[in-house]
Chain A
Amino acid sequence: MSTATAIENKSPASAGRFEPRIAAFVCNWCTYTGADLAGTSRVQMMPNVRMVRLPCTGRIDTAFIIKAFERGADGVIVSGCHPGDCHYSEGNYHARRRFAMFKELMNFMGIDERRVTFSWVSASEGRKWGDVVDETIERVRALGPFDDYKTLLEETP
């Protein structure tokens, strides 16, 4: 694919294509900074992500993910420091347990777990952040809009 087509494809204006809305919950020290690095390195990525900055993945409550789905997110990214790198030493280890349980719960409830990307992106992994973003968008695009969740309210008898 030529650069020009790649960029063209990244435009949400591309006719007829489903553009998923992705919410991202990221830690301040690694992933947010890594995303900053992606910016300073001009790593191009698709524009479908809206980010919420938290101090640490330890702060990320699974209620955030549910609320994002309620608000119409088609996918969610949750990202923080690699194990051992947590700015607060242990926050990401606690988060990892929480996310592991939540991931299994989602799957059990029939929420396609491919709608949520959990990743470790360090402050130096600007390129990886771009990859995580683009992969998530493509994956969720393939899954289609999360109508199951969006229509829950209307479907209440």
Chain B
Amino acid sequence: MSRIGVFVCHCGENIARTVDTAAVAQECGKLPGVIHSVDYKYMCSDPGQLMVKQAIAEHKLTGVVVAACSPHMHEKTFRRATAGAGLNPFLCEMANVREHCSWIHESRTAATEKAIDATRMIVEKVKRNAPLSPIHIPVTRRALVIGGGIAGIQAALDIADGGREVVLVEKEPSIGGHMSQLSETFPTLDCSQCILTPRMVEAFQHPRIKLYTYSEVESVDGYIGNFKVTIRKKARSVDEANCNGCGACQAVCPNKKIPSEFDAGLGKRSAIYVPFPQAVPNIPVIDRERCSYFRAKAKGSTKVVCGKCAEACGKGAVHFDQQDTLVTEDVGAIVVATGYRLYDIGKDQDSELLKGYGEYGYGTVPDVIDGMQFERLASASGPTAGKILRPSDGKEPTSVVFLQCIGSRDPSKGIEYCSKICCMYVAKHTMLYKHKVHHGQATVFYMDIRAAGKGYDEFTRRAIEEDGARYVRGRVSRLYRDGEVIKILGFDTLSGEPIEMDADMVVLATAMRPQAGMAELAQKLSVSYDKHGFINEAHPKLRPVETNTAGVFVAGACQSPRDIPDSVAMASATASKILGLLSNEQLEREPTVARVDESTCSACFHCERVCAYGAVEHKDIRDRSGNLVRVVASVNKGVCQGCGTCLATCPSKSLELDGFTDAQIHAAIMAF
């Protein structure tokens, strides 16, 4: 016979205002098997927890029901208290009479009645609870970081410095990410490359970091502590071990007019190229789409068209016949740090949600550029060696108009979120422009200025007050080329007057979007993502760098628009989480996992077909002489995540899910 204790919490006034907690305790006290039923002001307080502990000892309770807030809030608290009194923590459950009752109903009678019902259902469930013990699973004590931008580099370095091996995978030929493209950074205006490059080199040279550049994650199997990751090393066409980065191949490449991705299309590169001079590793890659050798081959020509790079290479490192290779790495934890891409304002959008901005002439009016292109113009290592020259004729623009919120905060274009960094980098751009073109006038069209952050508001003020940027609150409705200038038609919402002005150049602060292919990657990792493709954190407040899949963490702009300090902070946070995780040889997991009743399993393996984790295995049942009698399904407790889909699928009901067994659910319904 069960000996259940019921503890009804007032939550101060939160529950007691609407629910007659004394009546709940009294009614539940009448239930068969309930031998102790009380109410108290704050069950989660120390005295409240002590009540639970004392009652367990005094009444030899076999189960505890706390009617209080959501189990998501305090289940851990009360299970800990239960364990503290020597009772298995899984014999404690919560009835939610706050979020699901007192807070959403006005009628005291109805709320009290509902609270009694809810508690009764949990009492009946708890009568069928079984003591459970945590599951121990071994841990592979190394980590994978996906993405070699500043977030990925930081995470990798922190984990490696903490003593664990890291596998860092970057899809581009070099690590560094977007930060390497930036000229200066806000709010200090220190040189982006100057602070980044040493970290890139450090990551490259770190004895505990294994770097895969020009590589992508092909597939991920396994589970927390035990991931098996397959990485596709794309064919670089250059032998990394032999290349010494001398650059002779690039010098002889006849195809030098390819728009450079690194320079956001403003500069040119060769078909065999290192993305930028400080690239890590400093090893070129052949762009097979653009290389004459490969293009001829793709067309079916048997003639060797070029091959100059291979001839020029003193080390014989150019290998045209290199193939993609797959390597597997065992890791215990994964960081997703894939960063962002910029919204492309043209009408042809990759997502049906996005509509594009035909009216801003990007791509048709040559002197309309985006923020990243401006970064490259302003960068000392950029195509203009740091001079602000407009793309159409190379003249120095004397009037530059900056448009904020291009895409961002515009639900009708499909992006309702704020991209967070644009206000700051636009302010930075106006300053960089003023510092380089002293007679120039920067004008900014903005919706709101969002400069929350240490030194951020001061920074935007400096742009306006010291560097004379003109900020106009309002939107631009149309812009077009008129001879040498760009005509701009807009509206100043503060003065309430239309604005018509000329500019030599227009810079669009386009929205931040997650990288292409995020949905596919998220599916490989079984992590959830929002409709834009940003990875969802496990909890927006309390678990900001974890994902819903144990062992997979998230850092930087792939989670939502982030600036550099945010990304770095997240990266260090993931590193800290992972170092904690990897500090153990074994992991403890909640024992809410499925198990098979082997005596009734009919081995149809429907469970195997529905299991998203591959947790169902085939198990041989043998007699004492070792002869195979039959095969049954068996659940790998380390892999099972406890969703219970197999239970509802099993025709013979031969599966159970600890914590949510059929008997428990049935009992709760019987108490309905």
CB–CB under 8 A between A and B in the complex?
Answer: yes
Is A35 positioned at the interface, with any CB of B under 8 Å from its CB? yes
Residues of A within 8 A of B (CB): 7, 10-13, 21, 23, 29, 32-33, 35-40, 42-47, 50-56, 58-62, 64, 67-68, 71-73, 84-91, 94-95, 98, 130
Beta-carbon contact of B672 and A95 below 8 Å: no
Contact B657 A55 (CB under 8 A): yes
Q: Is the Cβ of B643 less than 8 Å from the Cβ of A42? A: no
Q: Decide: A91 near B645, CB < 8 A? Known: A12-B113, A35-B100, A52-B668.
A: yes
Contact B666 A11 (CB under 8 A): no
Whether B672 lies near A90 (C-beta < 8 A) is: no
Q: Are B648 and A61 in contact (CB under 8 A)?
A: yes
Say yes or no for B109: interface residue by CB 8 A criterion. Answer: yes
**Chain A residues with CB below 8 A from B110, complex form:** 10-13, 47
Taking a contact as CB atoms closer than 8 A, the residue among B99, B612, B649, B657 that contacts A36 in the complex is B99
What are 9 sample pairs from A and B whose C-beta atoms fall under 8 A apart?
Answer: A10-B105, A29-B548, A44-B106, A45-B104, A47-B105, A50-B114, A86-B528, A91-B645, A94-B649
Note all chain B residues with C-beta closer than 8 A to A85: 528
Q: A39 touching B99 by the CB < 8 A rule?
A: yes
Whether the pair B644, A56 counts as a contact (CB closer than 8 A) is yes
Cβ-defined contact, B643 with A91, below 8 A: yes
Q: Is the CB of A55 within 8 A of B528?
A: no
CB neighbors of A among B92-129 (8 A):
96, 98-101, 103-107, 109-111, 113-114, 117-118, 121
Please tell me if the beta carbons of B665 and A54 are within 8 angstroms of each other in the complex. yes
Contact present for A59 and B647 (CB under 8 Å)? yes
A47 touches B672 (CB 8 A): no
CB atoms of B528 and A58 under 8 A apart: no
Chain B 459-473 against A: per-residue CB contact (8 Å), 1 yes, 0 no? 000000000000000
Nearest Cβ in chain B — how far from A135, in angstroms? Answer: 15
Q: When the two chains form their complex, are residues A39 and B104 in contact, meaning their CB atoms are under 8 A apart?
A: yes
Q: Check B645 against A47 for contact (C-beta < 8 Å).
A: no
| C-alpha gap A141/B129 in the complex (Å) | 35
Q: Is the CB of B548 within 8 A of A61?
A: no
When the two chains form the complex, which single residue of B643, B647, B668 contacts A61, counting CB atoms closer than 8 Å?
B647
Chain A residues with CB under 8 Å of B121's CB are 50, 52
Residue pair A47, B644 in contact (C-beta under 8 Å): no
Q: Which of A64, A72, A98 contacts B665 (CB 8 A)?
A: A64
Q: Is B303 an interface residue (CB 8 A)?
A: no
- A46–B526 Cα distance when bound, in Å, is 36
A42 and B104 contacting across the interface, CB-CB below 8 Å: yes
Q: Shortest beta-carbon distance, B658 to chain A, in Å?
A: 11
Shortest Cβ distance from B70 into A: residue: A36
- Closest B residue to A24 using CB positions: B100
Query: Contacts A42-B103, A47-B105, A51-B118 hold; do A58 and B643 have CB atoms under 8 A apart?
Result: yes
Contact A33-B72, Cβ < 8 Å, known A10-B106, A13-B110, A87-B548: yes
Besides the known contacts A47-B114, A67-B669, 12 further A-B residue pairs in the complex with CB atoms under 8 A apart = A12-B109, A13-B110, A33-B72, A35-B99, A39-B70, A42-B103, A47-B110, A50-B121, A52-B121, A58-B643, A94-B610, A130-B104
Beta-carbon contact of A55 and B643 below 8 Å: yes
